[in-house]
Structure 1
Amino acid sequence: MIERRAMGEVRSEGRTLRGLAIPYGVDTRINGGTESIAVGAVTASLANRDILALVDHDASKVLGRTRSGTLRLVEDSRGLSYEIDLPDTTAARDVLALVERGDAGGMSFGFNVPKGGDEWRGTHRTVRNLTLHEISVITSHPAYQATTIEARGAAHSMELLRLRLEVYR
């Protein structure tokens, strides 16, 4: 069974969405307990996987994917950040309109936890390893409030790419 977690703030400026999809070390209330995602939990998932960007976890509303380069994911000590180049589709135009108005609920992610990938202490679960399938822009209520989403124009995206390349040199 794929687990889903939703979180975050949504802002807009342009046709590229960007923000934090998975925050590390942030507790959130899930099913009567708390949960946090440990630093590095998604690292193994990023290698050789085609991860999708969706609307509300709906596989018929694809916004981007890592295989085509229209979804870019970068992990650091804060969590998993993303950039999505929006297509010219009804779903993407609808999402952009919600983000620009400040009406989108946040970001979410769909994942599985492999055997031994989590640790329980009472009612608190720490996910130390997960298999990421997709991230989603959600239109309702997020679970993790620490995620972010905003839309940026092409010039801003190029500046972010330049800064990111400097960090990884």
Structure 2
Amino acid sequence: MSKIEKRGGTLGVETRAADEKRTLVGYAAVFNSSADIAGWWTERIAPGAFAGTIGGDVRALVDHDMGRVIGRTASGTLRLSEDSRGLLCEIDIPNTTDGNDLWELVERGDISGMSFGFHVTKQEWDETVDPPVRTIQAVDLIEVSAVAWPAYDDTTIGKRALQEWRDANSEILDPAATDDLPVLRKVANDKLRRSMLLDLKVRNRG
């Protein structure tokens, strides 16, 4: 399986306590917000990008650490939804060392952000601008995390995705046929999307 991409930042997370239940609430992703990914490209998440994945079995973690689970959709302790702003997360914090420490750190303001780990399943690239713009249209959501630092330093998978898009375009685009460029770009994007979905199915089967 390919490496998981991680994105997020100081989008805000807050504590809510009622009926002896402690819940963290925040946004792991915001739609149509431009993020500079290490100067390599600008990235945006399109509304609806999580619609096909938030019903799956997703974990809530501390700082993307797979060994520090604090919630899970399958158990009902993590609830995910899309609204007009982005991906909203509600995590019922457990009475564990990680849970208690996290609750204290959020209340103190030491941890104030959320993030998410994902595989891209549908995307578009616009290279008519510099740096290129990547629009993420659909993802396979793996986890959401409460984080102390934005996770924008992981660019390896994204750079590979850009190269795949360029390779797909170079196979069919005729530089002289500028009048047909928008149509040809759509064909290239569709071809890459089918390839990525096939790859995802193969990986999931394994």
TM-score normalised per structure 1: 0.78
Q: Following superposition of structure 1 onto structure 2, how do residues 134-145 of structure 1 map, counting pairs within 5 Å?
A: 134-141=143-150
What secondary structure is seen at the aligned counterpart in 1 of 2:75? coil
Q: Match for 2:4: what amino acid?
A: I
Alignment partner, residue 12 of structure 1: 15
Shift of 1:9: 2.1
More helix, by proportion: 2
Q: Following superposition of structure 1 onto structure 2, how do residues 130-169 of structure 1 map, counting pairs within 5 Å?
A: 130-141=139-150
C-alpha distance in 2 between matches for 1:102 and 1:21: 17
Contact kept? 1:57, 1:110, Cα under 8 Å: yes
What secondary structure is seen at the aligned counterpart in 2 of 1:46? coil
More deviation in 123-132 or 73-82? Answer: 73-82
C-alpha distance in 1 between matches for 2:125 and 2:4: 19
Alignment partner, residue 155 of structure 1: none
C-alpha distance in 2 between matches for 1:100 and 1:142: 21
Is 1:66 matched up with 2:73? yes
Is 1:119 matched up with 2:115? no
C-alpha distance in 1 between matches for 2:93 and 2:15: 12
More deviation in 59-68 or 28-37? Answer: 28-37
C-alpha distance in 1 between matches for 2:81 and 2:116: 15
Match of residue 79, structure 1, among 73, 77, 86: 86
- The aligned length equals 140
Q: Deviations along 1:105-150, whole A, 9 cap, x unmatched? A: 4001000012xx111112111000111000000123465xxxxxxx
Alignment partner, residue 96 of structure 2: 89
What secondary structure is seen at the aligned counterpart in 1 of 2:107? helix
What CA RMSD, in Å, does the superposition of the two structures yield over aligned residues?
Answer: 1.4
C-alpha distance in 2 between matches for 1:10 and 1:83: 10
Higher Rg of the two aligned structures: 2
Match of residue 51, structure 2, among 43, 61, 81: 43
C-alpha distance in 1 between matches for 2:135 and 2:150: 22
Contact kept? 2:15, 2:25, Cα under 8 Å: no
More strand, by proportion: 1
Q: Match for 1:135: what amino acid?
A: V
Is 1:128 matched up with 2:137? yes
C-alpha distance in 1 between matches for 2:15 and 2:107: 4
C-alpha distance in 1 between matches for 2:86 and 2:107: 24
Q: Deviations along 1:57-100, whole A, 9 cap, x unmatched? A: 11111110000000011112211111110001111111111100
Contact kept? 1:13, 1:100, Cα under 8 Å: no
Q: Runs of 5+ in structure 2 lacking a partner?
A: 153-206
Shift of 1:13: 4.4
Q: Match for 1:131: what amino acid?
A: D
TM-score normalised per structure 2: 0.64
